[in-house]
Amino acid sequence: METNIQPNQSNVSVPDPSNFESNASSPDTQPPVPVGIKIISALFYLVSVFLIFAGIMLTFFIIWSLSSGLDGLGWFGFNFGFNIGVIPGILTIAWGGLHFIAGRGLWTGKEWGQVLAITMSGLYIAKGIIDLVMFGGVNLFIYIFFALNLAI
């Protein structure tokens, strides 16, 4: 069998790019992010600001209490040194930063932002279940917090 294909020719047909729609998805363009996702993203931003502020205040409180001679939080029944005393504040700041990253991912419509937000909400749901079981659900805030995370 002989083929009549010249070295520079191929049997592959290439579609004409002018026939495609102008708003077709490409790696550079993404469909617009729905308003509901933008609202959830704004909530993640709001929580991140609150957590970062709370973490900074907690860290400064620990440092202030150590420098004032209060021996850490010894008057609360704990005797933390400086090294272990600032860890809750730093972890709170880091958790707030993670909320900011999730909010940014949701706002820009990235898939990793959705995965991160769902994972974090799942952790909050698990915490809510533990709170309801251990504390008997006596606090209305626990129910509201649980319902919000379940909705996300």
User: Looking at residue 39, what is its pLDDT?
Assistant: 92
Average pLDDT of span 29-47 = 89
Tens of pLDDT, residues 134-152 = 776 566 766 777 777 777 6
Average pLDDT of span 55-84 = 66
Report how far residue 62's alpha carbon sits from residue 109's, in angstroms, rounded to the nearest whole number.
38
Backbone angles phi, psi at 31, to 5 degrees: -65, 155
User: Looking at residue 108, what is its pLDDT?
Assistant: 93
Nearest to 85 by CA among 65, 105, 99: 65
Two tokens, residue 58? 């907690």
Report how far residue 73's alpha carbon sits from residue 84's, in angstroms, rounded to the nearest whole number.
11
Sequence-distant (≥ 6) Cβ neighbours of residue 90 within 8 angstroms: 55, 59
| Banded pLDDT at 133 (limits 50, 70, 90) | confident
pLDDT at residue 10 tops 60: no
pLDDT at residue 95 tops 90: yes
User: Looking at residue 120, what is its pLDDT?
Assistant: 92
Nearest to 47 by CA among 113, 103, 89, 106: 103
